[in-house]
Amino acid sequence: MGADNIVRQLEYLPVTMALEPGPADGRAHDGAPRVRPTATLLNAIVTLLDTGAAALAVEDEGGAPMGFVTLASINRHIASTRRGEPAPAR
Domains and CATH numbers, the chain: 3-82 (3.90.1280.20)
- Bridge-partner residues for 34, per DSSP? 57
Residue that wins the pLDDT comparison between 86 and 69: 69
Length of the chain: 90
pLDDT, tens digit, 9 for 90 and up, residues 18-77? 999 876 555 556 688 999 999 999 999 999 999 999 999 999 999 888 999 999 999 998
Predicted confidence (pLDDT) at residue 89 exceeds the cutoff of 60: no
Residue 2 has a pLDDT of 60
Q: How far apart are the first and last CA of the chain?
A: 24
User: CA 76 to CA 70: how far, in whole Å?
Assistant: 10
